[in-house]
Amino acid sequence: MSTYGAPHSAAASVSGDGSRPSPSTTMPLLEVRDLWVRFRQGDRQVWAVNGLSYELFGGQTLAIIGESGSGKTVSSRALMGLLPETATVTGSARFDGEELLGLSDQEMRQHRGADLAMVFQDPTRSLNPTMRVGNQITEAIRTHLPLDRRAARERAIELLRLVRLPSPRQRFFEYPHQLSGGMRQRVMIAIALAADPKLLIADEATSSLDVTTQAQIMELLLDLQGQLGMALIMISHDLGLAASFADEVIVMYAGRAVERASTHQLFAHVRMPYTEALLEAIPRIERPSHSPLPVTPGRPPDLTTLPVGCPFEPRCSRARDTCRETSPPFEEQEPGHWWACWYPCDDGGSG
Amino acid sequence: MSTSTPALGADRRVSHGLARALRSPSLRLIGRRLAAAIPVLWGVTLLTFLVLNIMPGSAAQQLLGADATPEQVRQLEAELNLDQPAWVRYWEWLQGVVTGDLGNSIASGQPVTTIIGQRLPVSVELVLCAIIVSLAFTVPLALMAARRPNGIVDRLSMVLSMTGLSIANYVFALVLVVVFAVIFPVLPAIGFVPLSDGLLGNLRSLILPAIAIGFPLFCFYTRFLRGDLVEQMRGEDYVVTAKAKGVGPWRVLIRHAFRNSLFGLLTIVGLNLGTLIGATVIIEQIFALPGIGQELLQAINNRDAVVVQAIVLLLAVVVVVANLITDLLYAVLDPRIRYGQRSA
């Protein structure tokens, strides 16, 4: 860690013993309140995120789980200011006490990559194929830190070492296509860590990798999180991944949170039928072989119209008339356990 | 993994390198492309010869003028070997070409190679100036247009491009002459000042023709580059990565999107070289530039088959080689091709 010296290096020296700041006393690092995102699509509106709220404390890992189109990626890109111009974002997102939504692009750029960083799903497409990986890292470093070329290069090599890329000094000069998928994702992580972010958003960061690499990258992310004291938001469709790595889980459906609890509590008592359906859909070794995988019937909802009732109602086995008529509120119904359901599962002790 | 001694290793590396170079995809590509060019070039010469034979009038008639008696014409044709059957003349000419002899001009008796040697530098300079003019305006305008799609610059560039693409270059050339040589007499309307008589005069004589040729190309390149840049900025994940780093919009556009758009632009420029050379024929005529194009038109008027054949063949070779160079440049510039696909 000697040359890992840079203005923000205080964070880097936090030893990773996994001690978390206690949520009750400190201010949350990130506080999202009533976040709405809608897209213009011709003359229609797509309601991508509908009133999402959560908070995240420094050093914590939050998993946001949902299927494609549930709003998990859109909501996190909204925080980074990375949505296309067709998006309208309302609500509030306070990061370290400062409101992020409504910042000009220029103001947002000060935070992007410096305070909040993001690792994307497909490292092959996310790296510029015509630039040496080293230069892609130093670009991120020099955007935020006042380092000269040489110092930036040393720091980049240090970062490559930190993400455990073998022979970093040599890899610095290689192009993305010369690296494997897992190595590329390590480079992406190095880019994200360039300016010691306080929050790292991993958007399906392991989904495009094979299972072995997936576990390695996930472990790397958690190690780094402990080592550097960052908060981590894991966006995934994989509830199993959340179960193994996250402190807290938010399950999203149709652009809203439908269940939220600490990982332990959630898997001990699943309340929302959708979460249960997701859990059921995870292949298990205990099941008799050749038994069909339980699949949630129906399709994800059409987001061009907001439903009156519960958005999961058409696919829900527990749905009754109430569900069709009124949307259930998302409330803390048990201490530390939020859900939005009129007829929750009594004891979903499936985990 | 091998544990050979360093010296032996180095030796082996050299021979290995040579073997690899011979097997290298780019060398094989060059070989294949050159082999494929031979029938193309042969076809071009055959076609030119046929067209020249169909054309009414003969070189002898042109040389002697309208007053010549049929007797005189026949006599001159015999002297010039024009009384032989067409296929015999073609065969003789082709034999000459293959051995590097392009023959002598029917009209002037000068060796064709000498004529080309005098004329070619002018055309090469014109073509280079036209490419430089077109790209010098394309790159900044396309970048500005792509920075804000549908913004004011984008809309203006769209109007400009559409105008340029729908106007014929010889019409545009005359407009240029009227504006810059007649209304505001700042540039010469016609004539050529060789480079040896001073750079300034040389460039002044080339500005208008270069713009006349370069403008439609500029319009085309701008539409292409702007479209490609916008597509990259909207669709490519590495653009999102760059933005997520906090990199400013201009820098994202230039360092990331433009860098990747360059390959496409290069291809388009290479493929358009044929069009560009075609344009020089007419533009050289308008501006009285003593280039290859002017010579070609003169030779056609004189029914000087030997010169026409040689020039058409030369232009065909240039186009073929330019396309090949484009492909090779692509391989040189794109690291994915340069290093070959390898995944660890």
Q: With a CB-CB cutoff of 8 Å, which residues 179-238 of chain A face chain B? A: 179-181, 183, 188, 191-192, 194-195
- ipTM comes to 0.84
Find chain B residues with C-beta within 8 A of A183's C-beta: 344
Q: With a CB-CB cutoff of 8 Å, which residues 100-119 of chain A face chain B? A: 105-106, 109-114, 117-118
Find chain A residues with C-beta within 8 A of B241's C-beta: 120, 126-128, 136, 188, 191
| B168 and B253 belong to one structural domain | yes
| B163 and B298 belong to one structural domain | yes
CB pairs under 8 A between A and B: 91
| B145 and B70 belong to one structural domain | no
Is B238 close to A125, i.e. CB distance below 8 A?
Answer: yes
- Residue A271 DSSP code: -
Structure tokens at A104: 């000009």
Is A113 close to B246, i.e. CB distance below 8 A?
Answer: yes
> What contacts A86, CB < 8 A, 6 or more positions away?
A39, A40, A41
Instruction: Answer whether residue B2 is part of any domain.
Output: no
Question: What tens-digit pLDDT sequence spans chain A (351 residues)?
Answer: 334 434 343 333 333 344 444 444 578 999 999 999 999 988 889 999 999 999 999 999 999 998 888 999 999 999 999 998 889 999 999 999 899 998 998 999 999 999 999 999 899 999 999 999 999 999 999 999 999 999 999 999 999 999 999 999 999 999 999 999 999 999 999 999 999 999 999 998 888 888 888 888 999 999 999 899 899 999 998 888 888 889 999 999 999 999 999 999 998 889 999 998 888 887 777 777 777 777 777 777 888 888 888 989 888 888 888 888 888 999 899 899 999 999 888 754 443
Find chain B residues with C-beta within 8 A of A190's C-beta: none
Which candidate in B245, B263, B330 is best for mutational testing of the A interface (most A CBs within 10 A)?
B245
Q: Work out the average pLDDT over B141-167.
A: 93
Find chain A residues with C-beta within 8 A of B341's C-beta: 177
Tell me which residue in A127, A143, A178 faces B241 most closely, judged by beta carbons. A127
Find chain A residues with C-beta within 8 A of B254's C-beta: none
Instruction: Answer whether residue B174 is part of any domain.
Output: yes
**B133 vs chain A: nearest CA distance in angstroms?**
27
Find chain A residues with C-beta within 8 A of B344's C-beta: 178-180, 183
Which of B63, B98, B133 terminates a domain? The answer is: B98
Residue A127: phi and psi, rounded to 5, are -100, 145
| B171 and B62 belong to one structural domain | no
DSSP class per residue in A188-211:
HHHHHTTT--SEEEEESTTTTS-H
DSSP class per residue in A63-127:
EEE--TTSSHHHHHHHHHT-S-TTEEEEEEEEETTEE-TT--HHHHHHHBTTTEEEE-S-HHHHS
Is A129 close to B335, i.e. CB distance below 8 A?
Answer: yes
Nearest in space to B272 (alpha carbons), one of B228, B217, B343: B217
B182–A contact, CB cutoff 8 A: no
| B186 and B142 belong to one structural domain | yes
Find chain B residues with C-beta within 8 A of A179's C-beta: 343-344
Find chain A residues with C-beta within 8 A of B342's C-beta: 177-178
| B72 and B220 belong to one structural domain | no
One-letter amino acid at A234 equals M
Structure tokens at B196: 């040896």
Give yes or no for a contact between A266 and A343, defined as CB atoms under 8 angstroms apart.
no
B340–A contact, CB cutoff 8 A: no
Count of C-beta atoms within a 10 Å radius of residue B107: 19
Which of B50, B67, B98 terminates a domain? The answer is: B98
For A160-174, letters b (16+ CB in 10 Å) and e give: bbbbebeebeebbeb
Which of B98, B113, B130 terminates a domain? The answer is: B98
Q: Count of domains in chain B?
A: 2
**B103 vs chain A: nearest CA distance in angstroms?**
49
- Cα A291 to chain centroid distance, Å, stands at 32
For residues A245 and A229, what is the distance between their CA atoms, to the nearest angstrom?
A: 16
Structure tokens at A166: 């073998």
For residues A222 and A225, what is the distance between their CA atoms, to the nearest angstrom?
A: 5
Which pLDDT score, from 0 to 100, does residue B303 have?
Answer: 86
CATH code of residue B210: 1.10.3720.10
| B92 and B137 belong to one structural domain | no
For residues B239 and B159, what is the distance between their CA atoms, to the nearest angstrom?
A: 28
For residues A118 and B242, what is the distance between their CA atoms, to the nearest angstrom?
A: 11
Structure tokens at A204: 């399906």
Cα A25–A30–A32 angle (5° rounding)? 115
Instruction: Answer whether residue B8 is part of any domain.
Output: no
Tell me which residue in B246, B256, B339 faces A112 most closely, judged by beta carbons. B246
| B86 and B145 belong to one structural domain | no
Instruction: Answer whether residue B315 is part of any domain.
Output: yes
Instruction: Answer whether residue B1 is part of any domain.
Output: no
- Helix, strand and coil in chain A, % to nearest 5: 35, 25, 45
Instruction: Answer whether residue B333 is part of any domain.
Output: yes
**Residue ranges making up the domain that contains B280:** 121-338
End-to-end Cα separation, chain B, in angstroms: 16
Q: Work out the average pLDDT over B66-73.
A: 82
B65–A contact, CB cutoff 8 A: no
Which pLDDT score, from 0 to 100, does residue B19 have?
Answer: 66
A32–B contact, CB cutoff 8 A: no
**What are the angstrom distances between the C-alpha of A11 and each of A96, A115, A273, B57, B77?**
15, 12, 41, 89, 94
**A308 vs chain B: nearest CA distance in angstroms?**
34
Instruction: Answer whether residue B103 is part of any domain.
Output: no
B151–A contact, CB cutoff 8 A: no
| B44 and B190 belong to one structural domain | no
Closest CA in chain B for residue A106? B248
User: Three-state SS string across B22-40, please?
Assistant: HHCHHHHHHHHHHHHHHHH
B249–A contact, CB cutoff 8 A: yes
Is B238 close to A129, i.e. CB distance below 8 A?
Answer: yes
One-letter amino acid at A220 equals L
| B129 and B75 belong to one structural domain | no
Is B249 close to A105, i.e. CB distance below 8 A?
Answer: yes
Closest CA in chain B for residue A79? B244
Q: How confident is the model at residue B299 (pLDDT cuts 50, 70, 90)?
A: very high
Q: What's the Rg (C-alpha) of chain B?
A: 26
Find chain B residues with C-beta within 8 A of A139's C-beta: 242, 245, 247, 255
Give yes or no for a contact between A75 and A89, defined as CB atoms under 8 angstroms apart.
no
Which pLDDT score, from 0 to 100, does residue B22 have?
Answer: 64
For residues B339 and B344, what is the distance between their CA atoms, to the nearest angstrom?
A: 13
Instruction: Answer whether residue B343 is part of any domain.
Output: no
Higher-pLDDT residue of B64 and A334 is: A334
Is A128 close to B260, i.e. CB distance below 8 A?
Answer: yes
Find chain A residues with C-beta within 8 A of B243's C-beta: 82, 112
A96–B contact, CB cutoff 8 A: no
Tell me which residue in B244, B259, B341 faces A118 most closely, judged by beta carbons. B244
| B133 and B89 belong to one structural domain | no
Which candidate in A103, A119, A131, A199 is best for mutational testing of the B interface (most B CBs within 10 A)?
A131
Residue A34: phi and psi, rounded to 5, are 50, 55
B250–A contact, CB cutoff 8 A: no
One-letter amino acid at B54 equals I
B244–A contact, CB cutoff 8 A: yes
For residues B256 and A80, what is the distance between their CA atoms, to the nearest angstrom?
A: 19
Find chain A residues with C-beta within 8 A of B236's C-beta: 125
Find chain A residues with C-beta within 8 A of B335's C-beta: 129-130, 175, 177
Is B241 close to A191, i.e. CB distance below 8 A?
Answer: yes
- Residue A329 DSSP code: P
| B207 and B133 belong to one structural domain | yes
